[in-house]
Amino acid sequence: MPGTIHEEGKLKRNRALLMLMLALALLLAAVMTGCALTQEGSTTTAAGESTTTTLGENATPADQAIAALTQSPNIQAPQTVKPGTLLAGSDTAFPPMQFLDEDDNVIGFEVDLCRAIA
């Protein structure tokens, strides 16, 4: 059937075009993330700690402004935030991420991940 051969050629051409676009996207991503680091900005936290941020040579004025920000001493952590404590929420209706076992204990990947981080 002549129509089938034509359709197969069209599919191969579309697949090749898709692969070319994917390769170009990956190349563009590699180029965009490979910028040289040359500029530095210094910030001070509310606790008085100083940190240094390295910016790329292509940093925009907005990047430089963000790197130079300092936290206002008037900003306080909410009462629910306690140093050294990790609070996590979960929906137990999404196995295998988290779910209830036979004894109504919450188990799953997210629970294991939170325990590992803690």
pTM exceeds 0.95, yes or no: no
Structure-block tokens of residue 61: 């004025």
Residue 76 lies inside a defined structural domain of this protein = no
Report the distance separating Cα 23 and Cα 34, nearest Å: 17
Residue 79 in any domain: the answer is no
In a domain, 80, yes or no: no
Side-chain-facing half-sphere of 59: CA atoms under 13 Å: 19
| Model confidence pLDDT, tens digit, residues 13-56 | 888 888 888 888 888 877 777 644 444 555 555 555 655 666 66
pLDDT of residue 12: 81
Q: Does residue 5 fall inside a structural domain?
A: yes
User: What integer is the mean pLDDT of 3-8?
Assistant: 69
Structural domain count, the chain? 3
Answer yes or no: is 2 within a domain.
yes
Range of the domain at 49: 37-71
The pLDDT of residue 97 is above 80: yes
On whether residue 77 sits in a domain, the answer given is: no
At residue 83, the pLDDT reads: 76
According to the model, what pLDDT value does residue 103 have? Answer: 93
Same structural domain for residues 30 and 55? no
Separation in Å, CA 33 to CA 42, 67, 68: 22, 18, 22
Residue 115 maps to a domain: yes
Q: Greater confidence, 40 or 104?
A: 104
